[in-house]
Amino acid sequence: MAELLKVSGVCSGYGDVRVLHDVDLAVNTGEIVCLIGSNGAGKTTLLRTLSGVVRQSAGSITFLDRDISGSAPQQIVKLGVVHVPEGRRLFAGMTVRENLLMGAYLRTDGRAIINRDLDFVLTIFPKLAERLNQDASTMSGGEQQMCAVGRGIMANPMLLMIDELSLGLSPKLVGELSKALVEINKSGLAILLVEQDVATALKLAHRGFVIDTGRMVLSGLTHELAKNGTVREAYLGAAAV
């Protein structure tokens, strides 16, 4: 598998406050990788750094062997790295269709291909097809998350980064969204999934990284992480084996 994203020795933070310390992470083509860790560990900060919203102070980020450290957010989206933010952040007062099409606003590959991708999103999330003309902000939390993921797909990414897929959603909806992510991944997209719900993340992803107070402390295949004593004790609520 080819290496899609490679993060080496990245430090970043806000002003003088350093949040990420010497962080390494990699995502290969075709993979679902999860990034797990407690509240405040630095997961969102890492995604925001990868998106170019937060500036790194050290280290390198390459995407398809191209150095994207310090690139502008729109440039990073155009290269194929798209961030579905925590809390959905849909455009209120705009319909579901308009929200989905906003995801495609930087694209220059033509209406026909954009419409094909819209059809793909509606196949993955049939609930959105029934609500295309509804104000997106009036939908349930689960439907809004579907719309946020769909908007991300409309940007035609190679790597979709999703921050807290399951936050605030019922187990049934988390199941639906998880199934959708597997389908999206099978269509060829790599996914970097950030989750506080460690059990869900380990089930969905092929490999995982564990971040603790801004440092990567563990990584590996998810079926191995799920058996790891530290992971079980700290994140799965089980006694260490």
Ligand X SMILES: Nc1ncnc2c1ncn2[C@@H]1O[C@H](COP(=O)(O)OP(=O)(O)O)[C@@H](O)[C@H]1O
Q: Which long-range contacts (CB under 8 A, 24 or more apart) does 137-142 make?
A: 137/90, 137/92, 137/93, 139/96, 141/88, 141/168, 141/169, 141/173, 142/169, 142/170, 142/173, 142/176, 142/177
Contact by Cβ (8 Å): 66, 79 = yes
Task: Give the range of 4-12, 18-26, 41-49, 88-96 binding Mg ion by CB under 5 A.
Answer: 41-49
Among 7, 23, 44, 161, binds Mg ion (CB under 5 A): 44
Look at residue 12 and give the partner it binds from ligand X, Mg ion, none, a contact being a CB closer than 5 to 8 Å depending on partner kind: none
Of 111, 195, 105, 100, residue with least CA distance to 152: 100
Token duo for residue 1: 């598998």
The minimum distance between CB 150 and Mg ion, in angstroms, equals 21
Binding mask 16-55 for ligand X (x = CB under 6 A): -x-x-----------------x-xxxxxxx----------
Find the binding residues for ligand X in span 55-74 (CB under 6 A). Answer: none
Nearer to ligand X, 37 or 59 (CB): 37
The minimum distance between CB 168 and Mg ion, in angstroms, equals 13
Rule CB under 5 A: say whether 45 interacts with Mg ion: no
CA distance from start to end of the chain: 33
Number of residues that bind ligand X (CB under 6 A): 11
Nearer to ligand X, 103 or 214 (CB): 214
CA 90 to CA 229: how far, in whole Å? 39
Nearer to ligand X, 47 or 100 (CB): 47
Integer angstrom CA distances of residue 78 from 50, 72, 103: 13, 10, 11
Q: What is the DSSP letter of 138?
A: G
Number of residues that bind Mg ion (CB under 5 A): 2
What does the binding site for Mg ion look like in residue numbers (CB under 5 A)? 43-44
What does the binding site for ligand X look like in residue numbers (CB under 6 A)? 14, 17, 19, 37, 39-45
